Amino acid sequence: MTRAISLHDVSKSYTRGTRVVDRLSLDIEPGEFLVLLGPSGCGKSTVLRMIAGLEEIDEGELLLDGEYANDLMPADRRIAMVFQNFALYPNMTSRDNIGFPLRIEAPGEDPRPRVDTTARMLGIEDLLDRFPAQLSGGERQRVAMGRAIARHPTAFLMDEPLSNLDAKLRGHLRAEISALTRELGVTTVYVTHDQAEAMSLGDRVAVLRGGVLQQVGAPRTVYALPANVFVAAFIGIPRINLLRGLVRAPLDGAMTISLGKQYLRLPEPLCLDHQLLRVQQGREVIVGLRSEAVRIAEPAAARPGEVHITGLVEHVEFQGHEVLVHFNTGSRPAVVPDLEAPRPVPPVRRRRRDPGTVLDRLRTRAGTLRAGPVVTLEHPADPDPDPAPPDGRLPGDLIVRTTPDIDLRHGMQVPLLVDIAHLYVFDQHGERICPAPDRLPDLEE
């Protein structure tokens, strides 16, 4: 038996009224594997603990199979939790650790058959008579998972269960967790800050920032259509290239996005997404280019929809199966200062003679409570400022993924082709405007 989990406008606050989870709404289908992804301190584990009943919900509702469960005791929720630090009893053998919750739930029943079945499922039959101190990290995590599985719960909650293990073992156990949860068909909520785990395990991924849900969707969707700059930059290796651009849309010429020293000319006829960029005429935007959207090739080899720029090689990273080349294109990188902070740094409040209307003050206060915009770009006094730092050396601003057989050296001038079909454009507050969102803004709102 598995169950549905629903969170409706759930909030949690600790000291001084700081909300670590802010009005979170999320529906998890029976049997679904949902991953909560985000940087440290964004509220992931708090959400998990509220579902388990280990934290009280300050506002909102938790529904289990459609029934109100805010006040339900943890033992009555039939939910098993796997902790980051294993949480095994050191004076008990693996068999006793796995069987302990079974003896609590049914004191008169013999737990050994279910313990043996669980051990065979996890391949730890030969570890049942060992104590935790005699086990490796991976073996301890298997025992901790066995303790959860043996209870036959209606849902699994996993709080970064692989973060204390080495990279090779994490990859192995990740595959085991994926196969095991699908075999059992039990609803699973998995917390991690590792995007590789999130993308490889989850049926859906929910990205959190500052206690606020940024986006939820299938891994492919979240990667291909990020809702904002934070999601785009947090998901993807290497990190997406973010450049400051200026939209130029003359009535009698081609539309371009200036990147400082160079520009991207949008191919004609303009697609619908690019036509919508006309409203950004003269405004500064953030251009996002993933490393696979740019390739090293001569202008003559351009395919339909590709435009030519050049780059100066700054650094070459040999990864074995691929090479990451850092180019300097003379562009202005977009800096998102609070990208991986638990929540944005609140602005310093200064007294103003004109405090604005009551509505303005309420909007400002609401913005500080809801984690604020991802980034805010100021209008430049000069639309094309010189991006060179005082020492005259331009920093690398574009990372391109290429094959390991390419021979590039520092200082080489290299032709690049940008696939405009894979171009992202975000507004001054970091919200995606190209490709266009599913719901276009109402101009009267």
Two tokens, residue 272: 């619908």
Q: In what order do the strands lie in the sheet with 59-64?
A: 19-28, 5-13, 59-64, 67-68
Lookup: tokens for 215: 């986006």
Stretch 336-353: mean pLDDT, rounded?
45
Cα 221 from Cα 198, distance rounded (Å) = 13
What is the DSSP secondary structure assignment for residue 394, as one 8-state letter?
Answer: P
- Measured distance CA(138)–CA(142) in Å, rounded: 6
One-letter identity of residue 252: D
Whether 242 has a pLDDT exceeding 60, the answer reads yes
Identify any residues that bridge with 79 across adjacent strands, giving them in sequence order.
155
Average pLDDT, the chain: 84
Alpha-carbon distances of 300 from 79, 296, 415, rounded to whole Å: 60, 12, 10
Report how far residue 234's alpha carbon sits from residue 207's, in angstroms, rounded to the nearest whole number.
9
For the chain, how big is the Rg over CA atoms in Å? Answer: 26
How large is the average pLDDT for residues 368-392?
A: 46
Query: Is 236-344+375-386+395-434 in the same CATH topology as 5-229?
Result: no
CA gap 381, 379 in Å, rounded: 7
The SS3 call for residue 52 is helix
Percent of the chain, pLDDT > 90? 51
Kindly compute the dihedral angle of the four CA atoms of residues 383, 387, 391, 393, in this order, to the nearest 10 degrees. Answer: -150
> Rounded distance, CA 204 to CA 219, Å?
6
Band of pLDDT at residue 104, cut at 50, 70 and 90: confident
Q: Which long-range contacts (CB under 8 A, 24 or more apart) does 196-201 make?
A: 196/237, 197/35, 197/162, 197/170, 198/35, 198/37, 198/235, 199/223, 199/235, 200/174, 201/33, 201/35, 201/174, 201/177
Identify the sign of the CA torsion 97, 100, 101, 106.
Answer: positive
Q: What is the pLDDT of residues 45-73, one digit of tens each?
A: 999 999 999 999 999 999 999 999 999 99
- Asked if residues 145 and 161 have their Cβ atoms less than 8 Å apart, the reply is yes
Contacts of 208 (CB under 8 A, 6+ apart): 24, 36, 37, 38, 42, 43, 44, 47, 214
- The CATH fold of domain 5-229: Rossmann fold (3.40.50)
Span 417-424, mean pLDDT? 94
Phi/psi at 120 (nearest 5 deg)? -65, -40
For the record, the structure tokens of 177 come out as: 């967790």
CB atoms within 10 A of CB 194: 16
Q: Which is more confidently placed, 213 or 387? A: 213
- Mean pLDDT within 193-221: 93
| Residue 275 in tokens | 């036509």
Contacts 24+ apart (CB under 8 A), 70-77: 77/52, 77/53
Show me where the domains of the chain are located.
5-229, 236-344+375-386+395-434
CA-to-CA dists, residue 229 to 105, 225, 289, 373, angstroms: 47, 11, 11, 10
Residue showing tokens 């991986």: 340
What percent of the chain is modeled with pLDDT above 70? Answer: 84
Q: Give the DSSP letter string of 310-377.
A: EEEEEEEEE-SS-EEEEEE-S-EEPP-TTTTSSSPPPPPP---S----HHHHHHHHHHHHTT--S--P
Least confident of 258-262, 327-331, 366-370, 409-413: 366-370
**Average pLDDT score over residue span 179-189:** 89
Of 11, 149, 16, 179, the residue nearest 82 (C-alpha): 149
Could you tell me which of 172, 168, 148 has the C-alpha nearest to residue 159? 148
Report pLDDT digits (tens) over 255-278: 999 998 899 999 988 888 888 888
Where does 236-344+375-386+395-434 sit in CATH, by number?
A: 2.40.50.140
pLDDT digits (tens, 9 = 90+) for 115-149: 999 898 888 899 999 999 999 888 888 898 888 88
Whether residue 167 has pLDDT greater than 80: no
In this prediction the pTM is 0.82
State the pLDDT confidence band at 377, using cuts at 50, 70 and 90.
Answer: low
27-47 pLDDT tens trace: 999 999 999 999 988 899 999
